Amino acid sequence: MYVYPFEKLEVWQLSRKFRKEIYSLVNQFPREEMFGLTSQIKRSASSIGDNISEGSARITAKDRAHFFVIAYSSAIETVNHLIGALDLLYISEHDYLTLRLKIEEIHK
């Protein structure tokens, strides 16, 4: 099977693992959040890897950079959603700090 170049990127591999953790985490959220915070955080976490993979296929450096900026913005959006989940007591301080450190690792 062909391995696409983005699949070899460490940052994409980290974002893939991060998305899986987020999806697992939001299963704890209240059911009434299914179309609110749950949906938002899943989309923003998924968007990190989505934009890394899409950007890696762009021909010009400027176009690639644009998608990497969007991926970074999605990571920051995810931080905001995690803060919201912490404030609403949907996640523990430990989970928040652990996931925040993983986002920092991805964006470096």
Q: For 58-75, how does the pLDDT look when each residue is reduced to its tens digit (9 = 90+)?
A: 999 999 999 999 999 999
Would you place residue 104 in the very low, low, confident or very high pLDDT band (cuts 50, 70, 90)?
A: very high
Per-residue confidence (pLDDT) for residue 2, from 0 to 100: 94
Q: Considering the domain boundaries, does residue 7 fall inside one?
A: no
Q: Considering the domain boundaries, does residue 64 fall inside one?
A: yes
Q: How many domains does the chain have?
A: 1
For the stretch 77-89, pLDDT in tens is 999 999 999 999 9
Q: Considering the domain boundaries, does residue 71 fall inside one?
A: yes
Q: Considering the domain boundaries, does residue 22 fall inside one?
A: no
Task: Name residues whose C-beta falls within 8 Å of residue 37's C-beta, 6 or more positions apart in sequence.
Answer: 26, 29, 81, 84, 85, 88, 90
Which CATH number goes with the domain that contains 49?
1.20.1440.60
Per-residue confidence (pLDDT) for residue 40, from 0 to 100: 97
Would you place residue 34 in the very low, low, confident or very high pLDDT band (cuts 50, 70, 90)?
A: confident
What domain range is 84 assigned to?
33-107
Q: Considering the domain boundaries, does residue 68 fall inside one?
A: yes
pLDDT at 11 over 90: yes
Q: Considering the domain boundaries, does residue 101 fall inside one?
A: yes
pLDDT at 108 over 90: no
Q: Considering the domain boundaries, does residue 24 fall inside one?
A: no
Q: Considering the domain boundaries, does residue 54 fall inside one?
A: yes
Task: Name residues whose C-beta falls within 8 Å of residue 49's C-beta, 6 or more positions apart in sequence.
Answer: 12, 15, 16, 18, 19, 71
